[in-house]
Amino acid sequence: MAQHERPTWWRRLTSRRLVVELSRFLLVGGAGFLTDVAVFSLLRWQALGLLDEEPLTAKVASATIATGVTWLGNRSWTWRHRTTASTRRELLLFVAMNGVGTGLALLCLAVSHYVLGFQSLLADNVAANGVGLVLGTAFRFFAYRTVVFRDAPAAGAGAADQPLAPGAPGAAAPGPAPSGLPVQRRRRDGTAPHERRR
């Protein structure tokens, strides 16, 4: 009895390549999160006196450094097998998609806090760092994979399928078009093999 074949979408979803990319993406994201927390805490540390009274500036600085870490990690490790045309375009799209992901977390927080009325610290954390983080992470992975680090067609991929012009190096010698019938050779006297000689 033949085994039931799984749908195409399921094979794509569970492909080894996708699983590896997702695993690396999550590890890089974790490194970026730790970088964000560490830099923010360091800048806010009163003993250093850097930005201990400017939390917003400290957060912008830590988020910027964390974005650089995740961009380098995803570019050089997660999706290093994908070719890109422009590093500048890649970085701009990465920052833009990262901003949209952050916006999703802020939207979840705003809806929970101001629309639904869940204003406790726990509710804010669940909305922003729970639901918002999951939605933002899912969006980032999809956007990075399909927009920022998208697959580019290999150079000359379509050229191999094009027929060579007659006379070009490697082109087949011109000849009669095949008719699907066996070719009959004539004898020296000009008669075909099925004809009797006179």
Q: Based on the fold, state whether residues 59 and 98 are members of the same structural domain.
A: no
User: What average pLDDT is seen over the chain?
Assistant: 76
173 within a domain of the structure (yes/no):
no
Q: Choose one of 120, 135, 151: the last residue of a domain.
A: 151
CA dihedral 20, 22, 26, 31 (to 10 degrees): 50
Taking alpha carbons only, the member of 90, 85, 42 closest to residue 67 is 90
Q: Based on the fold, state whether residues 75 and 16 are members of the same structural domain.
A: yes
Q: Based on the fold, state whether residues 103 and 51 are members of the same structural domain.
A: no
- The predicted structure's pLDDT at residue 118: 92
Q: Which domain holds residue 136?
A: 84-151
- The predicted structure's pLDDT at residue 18: 85
Q: Choose one of 49, 81, 113: the last residue of a domain.
A: 81
Q: Based on the fold, state whether residues 127 and 112 are members of the same structural domain.
A: yes
Q: Based on the fold, state whether residues 77 and 52 are members of the same structural domain.
A: yes
165 within a domain of the structure (yes/no):
no
Q: Based on the fold, state whether residues 114 and 143 are members of the same structural domain.
A: yes
2 within a domain of the structure (yes/no):
no
First to last CA, the chain: 65
pLDDT in tens, 148-190: 887 765 444 444 444 445 555 445 555 554 555 555 555 565 5
197 within a domain of the structure (yes/no):
no
More confident of the two residues 117 and 58: 117
C-beta neighbour count of 102 within 10 angstroms: 16
73 within a domain of the structure (yes/no):
yes
C-beta neighbour count of 61 within 10 angstroms: 18
Q: Based on the fold, state whether residues 58 and 112 are members of the same structural domain.
A: no
- The predicted structure's pLDDT at residue 13: 54
Q: Choose one of 31, 59, 81: the last residue of a domain.
A: 81
- The predicted structure's pLDDT at residue 82: 75
172 within a domain of the structure (yes/no):
no
102 within a domain of the structure (yes/no):
yes
State the total domains in the chain. Answer: 2
- The predicted structure's pLDDT at residue 63: 86
156 within a domain of the structure (yes/no):
no
d(C-alpha 120, C-alpha 126), whole Å? 10
- Please give the full DSSP string across 68-104, using - where no structure is assigned: HHHHHHIIIIITTTS--S-HHHHHHHHHHHHHHHHHH
pLDDT in tens, 95-154: 999 999 888 988 998 999 999 999 888 888 888 888 988 999 999 999 998 888 877 654
Q: Based on the fold, state whether residues 51 and 109 are members of the same structural domain.
A: no
Q: Based on the fold, state whether residues 97 and 145 are members of the same structural domain.
A: yes
Q: Based on the fold, state whether residues 70 and 94 are members of the same structural domain.
A: no
Q: Based on the fold, state whether residues 41 and 67 are members of the same structural domain.
A: yes
